[in-house]
Structure 1
Amino acid sequence: MTAGIRGMAALLVFGCGLAEAAPDWSAAASDIEARVIAHRRHLHQYPELSNREFETAKYLAQHLRALGLAVETGIAHTGVVAVLEGDKPGKTVALRADMDGLPVTEQTGLPFASTVKTTYDGREVGVMHACGHDGHMAILLGVAELLAARRAELPGTVKFIFQPAEESPPVGEDGGAKLMVEQGVLSTAPKPDAIFGLHLLSMYESGQVGWRSGGIMASADDLRIVVHGKQTHGAAPWLGIDPVVVAAQIVLGLQTIASRQMASTEAPVIVTIGKVDGGVRDNIIPDRVEMKGTLRALNEPMRRDLHARVKRTAEKIAESAGARAEVFIAERHAYPVTYNDPALMRRMLPSLQDEFGERLIEAQPILGAEDFSFFQREIPGLYLFVGIRPSDVPAEDFPANHSPKFTMDEAALAVGVRTLSRLAWDYLAAP
């Protein structure tokens, strides 16, 4: 887009007539970039696991209160919500960042690397922001600073949601976006009309912003299958029912669901078995085998169909051998599809195109999952990708999210600030 066209676009609000000049978000983000980077480095150095983000919450609340925002803490255990009311009346928009780190021992060698250790699943582990949540929080603090400075011109209200336990709460606990929704973060005043979020991703270059209408991240449902056979001597298998063989047949049969039963041209689905456990001795056929895995889909109808096919396949294969299979889906972990509302995407796409030009790309969906999807089930929402990989580094040579060597080009933080600031402002400014 030429400079002249961009200048005109800054004076228009969705083509509905002449308005006050919109803020220059690129310049504004540059002005606070050093502070945003400092936030990120502090939060990176002191990560905390899901539902244990106590010091993180204190840090966030302190800075949000210093900006003059109304702050509430202790939501969904450690979540922080801050409200900025503009001096002009209007709608309410929510912006979200996740807070938790991962049980990963950092290997980056950065001067602000995490040396935190804690206990996870009964073992001592390192703790690291290996998925960019430190950047997400820093970005949202930056957006809060920019919008608070423009309170007099802000046409509406912004609700800043800092969410714990995106990586899923500990076993036996609740948490995350689902619990925040249950506790009223979207239904209590000020009630948001829409919500925006983003994720820093290593697969995209720094400066790139990825958008997609519809499903952008997959649903995720845990899967557990218990095969019941009949124990016998390994030298006389005909005297029993071998659940190991049946389990092997089920694993192979499940793979035909994605490859032969689902409409692969519509959207991909994934059935992965990641753990198989059965037996205690080499010459004893056991009486049971337990398998655990994950199911992924990119739209809700296919998700429901996948669940039904997995259950039927496992049960019928077991039945054919005289065994019995119990299928448990979403016992503990169940995230819906992260689904970008098409109407909201059409509405906001011109703002993103004006802000980023050729650096805005239509993203391919990914089969990772995000509990931002629980917010999107309640109100229209958009979830975007922001690249963090230096342009001179090939994707295959750059540490992926969840790697102990995960890092980022910190110039991407200003891109994230521009993204959420522009979306929030233009959404509120639109008639």
Structure 2
Amino acid sequence: MEIFPEIKKRAEALTEELVLLRRDFHQNPELSYQEERTARVAADYLAGLGLEVKTGIAGNGVVASLPGVRPGKTVAFRADMDALPLDEQVEVPWRSRVKGVMHACGHDFHLALALGAARLLKSLQDRLAGSYRFILQPAEEGPPRGEDSGAQGMVRAGVLENPRVDAIIGLHVAPTLDVGHLRYGREVVMAGSDHLILHIMGKPAHGATPHRGVDPILVSALAFIQTRAFLSQEVDSRHPVVLTFGKIQGGQRFNILADKVTLEGSLRYLQDSVRQQVLAGLRRHLAGLAKATGARIDLSHRTIYPILRNDPRLADRAVEILRRLLGPRSLQPHSPAMGSEDFSYFAAKVPAFYFFLGVRTPGTKGHPLHSPEFNPDERALPFGLIAVAGLMTALAE
């Protein structure tokens, strides 16, 4: 497209502003459901550009719209806003000013790119087709508070309608990928995730006479072993699935058998059929264990995030656009990841393309997401802006 060289030029010129925006958000992080300052700063910035801005969506969500001057499609870009409950350990002048809260997942980058893209496209408005929507989402890190929070809440609030979005773009910083590179998947990008809760009810007894009771702590240990055996022996190893328990609670006193043990964990999967197989198998094995031990075992579950799938036709076109913008060597195919992302709620409603932006300083190992030492390389910002603004412009034609 003839406009691509201008997008590159203007993105590079916005580097300093992108850095300032990112550092402001980084120094003033807010947890999920508390993103009031973040939303206010972003909304004021977008309104100052002359965009139509709506606030208070699904909590602290913000949506801004920019029309082009020619008929075309409606393209959206989503950025998440919330931070994590971590004490930053990176010694930089722009480190977090909020004790116990840190942007350790790159949402400050995502926000800066959204605002930068809005500024860049506004400067080219008289050359644009279609319309552009910037969706700033709260509470990605969760945990979800029902259907009216996070991405699901924004979808229910109608942010993809009036006019209906033809394509939505999302990205995430990637600390395992060097600056100047992108990763993408054609279809399945990230796993679906369920929250599992296992209640094991026993029968209290004195620690000296366990034969008179039913020990739910022992039963929980047997449940761990049985679930591991089930996953390794009955689920096809070619179908990735991860079941982990991160919380266990039970017992009141060291010398009394507990009356109940509660375990909480997550089930992650890349196919809905595998999810159904695992849940059915867990119920079957736990029912057998309950019969063998005399305990009562209840399993409950709820989906946290659906499987994140890119639209294959949109992904093919997006990759072609990115190759023209950035060169073929800057793109790498991405194998599906077992992490989860609530962008999947947007992708379930309209064609979506989700990709990963390299933020690792070349020659270093970097630090993982959700680490107090996470420190993405800001040289990725103009590169990400070229990708976002170029994609939005081309897809709106």
| Shared fold per TM-score greater than 0.5 | yes
**3-state SS of the aligned residue for 1:285?**
coil
1:310, 1:287 → 2: CA distance? 22
**3-state SS of the aligned residue for 2:341?**
coil
Structure 2 contact 318–353 (Cα < 8 Å) conserved: no
Identity of aligned residues (%): 42
**3-state SS of the aligned residue for 1:347?**
helix
TM-score (ref. length: structure 1): 0.88
2:213 is aligned with 1:240:
yes
Aligned residue number for residue 335 of structure 1: 305
Root mean square deviation, CA, Å: 1.7
Aligned residue number for residue 115 of structure 1: 97
Q: CA deviation at 1:158?
A: 0.7
2:135 is aligned with 1:161:
yes
Q: CA deviation at 1:95?
A: 0.5
Aligned residue number for residue 176 of structure 1: 150
Aligned residue number for residue 183 of structure 2: 210
Q: CA deviation at 1:353?
A: 2.0
Structure 1 contact 399–405 (Cα < 8 Å) conserved: yes
Aligned residue number for residue 224 of structure 1: 197
1:82, 1:97 → 2: CA distance? 12
Aligned residue number for residue 70 of structure 1: 52
Per-residue displacement from partner, 1:216-240 (whole Å, max 9, x unpaired)? 1111211110011112222322222
Q: Compared with structure 1, are the counterparts of its residues 21 and 196 closer, same or farther at alpha carbon in structure 2 (3 Å cutoff)? A: closer
Aligned residue number for residue 31 of structure 2: 49
Q: Compared with structure 1, are the counterparts of its residues 362 and 257 closer, same or farther at alpha carbon in structure 2 (3 Å cutoff)? A: farther
Q: Which letter maps to 2:339?
A: G
Structure 1 contact 231–287 (Cα < 8 Å) conserved: yes
Per-residue displacement from partner, 1:373-431 (whole Å, max 9, x unpaired)? 0101111111101111111102xxx22111111111101111211121121111112xx
1:383, 1:314 → 2: CA distance? 38
2:307 is aligned with 1:325:
no
Q: How does 1:238-387 map to 2 (within 5 A)?
A: 238-265=211-238, 267-330=239-302, 334-356=304-326, 357-387=328-358
2:70, 2:147 → 1: CA distance? 41
Aligned residue number for residue 376 of structure 2: 408
Per-residue displacement from partner, 1:323-361 (whole Å, max 9, x unpaired)? 11111112xx61111111112112222112222321200
Q: Compared with structure 1, are the counterparts of its residues 374 and 170 closer, same or farther at alpha carbon in structure 2 (3 Å cutoff)? A: closer
1:48, 1:228 → 2: CA distance? 39
TM-score (ref. length: structure 2): 0.95
Aligned residue number for residue 172 of structure 2: 199
Aligned residue number for residue 392 of structure 1: 363
Q: CA deviation at 1:164?
A: 0.3
Structure 1 contact 142–417 (Cα < 8 Å) conserved: yes
Unaligned runs of 5+ in 1: 1-9, 11-19, 118-125
* Candidates 124, 131, 138, aligned match of 2:105: 131
Per-residue displacement from partner, 1:158-191 (whole Å, max 9, x unpaired)? 110000000015768951001001111113x122
Structure 1 contact 224–329 (Cα < 8 Å) conserved: yes
2:311, 2:353 → 1: CA distance? 7
1:25, 1:301 → 2: CA distance? 43
1:170, 1:364 → 2: CA distance? 26
- Count of residues paired in the alignment: 396
